Amino acid sequence: MRLRALSQEITWLVNEKYDGRLTDKAKKDINRLKKAEPLDYIIGYKKFLGCKIDLRYKPFIPREETEFWVGQAVKSAVKKNSSQRPARFAFGATLRILDMFAGSGCCGIAFLKNVPLSHCTFVDIDEKCLKQIKLNLRINGIAKHRYQIIKSNLFSQLHSQDAPYNIIMANPPYISFARKNKVQKSVLDFEPQKALFAKNNGLYFIEAFLKRAKDFLAPNGIIYLELGDNQKREIEKILKKFAYKNFDFHKDQFGKWRYLKIKN
């Protein structure tokens, strides 16, 4: 199975990056593949909801499960009339978005790319991620007045004037250290582990996020939170602890519990 997958990745790499030519550089990249380096890092980018997400600073690689729920969020935020005139928003003229744990910036950029009258604040603590977000915004042609980038540990550097947001998205580290042996070796060897793992059975950042997220949410706003497929029951306890009432858990395209939707 691994040999078949490797063969497919080699074909994709050569066609996508080298126009089907087996050059010397292509051969070097094939050797990187054989050492289990992720294909997306070698190609240098990932496609995500019509956006090109550059990966040169080695952020966490966007997953198709994340693309699925962000796509659902985009669809929910936009109303199109039958005559196919410009989109009208469920929340008013301009959609204000917060992308917490932004990483590569893929979630917020997908909104900015697909929802013209929107503004996004990107938040991450990692300097490399902040550089990556800025680059990806430029690559995708997002005007500077449509976004803000903040270095912050969760909400610590956000202020009252930044709120409220119509949509808050979060894809935090949520894998328990106890489940480390279940993570693919290529992920452990090459992707940033601080974007993967969290204390307290993977719930540390989820709980810290939920503790304050509602303070930054606009009336009728929505929070989207990605989670591990084994965390639904524990997160329900956290939601009860912080008095959240209007929420639903949703499955991804593979039938696994993957994200939480909270309405204000």
The CA-atom distances, in angstroms, between 154 and each of 69, 128, 258 are: 21, 16, 21
Distance of CA 198 to the CA centre of its chain: 17
Is 183 exposed, middle or buried, given 0-12, 13-18 or 19+ CB atoms closer than 10 A? middle
Res 261: pLDDT: 98
Instruction: Give the H or E element holding residue 151.
Output: strand 147-151
Question: pLDDT tens per residue, the chain (264 residues)?
Answer: 466 678 888 888 888 888 888 888 889 989 998 899 999 999 999 999 999 999 999 999 999 999 999 999 999 987 643 233 445 555 655 899 999 999 999 999 999 999 988 999 999 999 999 999 999 999 999 999 999 999 999 999 998 677 799 999 999 999 999 999 999 999 999 999 999 999 999 999 999 999 999 999 999 999 999 999 999 999 999 999 999 999 999 999 999 999 999 998
CB 169 within 8 Å of CB 73 = yes
Q: For the chain, how big is the Rg over CA atoms in Å?
A: 19
The pLDDT of residue 82: 29
pLDDT tens sequence across 111-123: 999 998 899 999 9
Q: What does pTM read for this prediction? A: 0.91
| C-alpha triplet 150, 151, 156: angle, nearest 5° | 95
Domains of the chain in start order, with CATH, are 1-35 (no CATH), 47-263 (3.40.50.150)
Nearest alpha carbon to residue 102 among 145, 48, 50: 48
Neighbour count for residue 165 (Cβ, 10 Å): 25
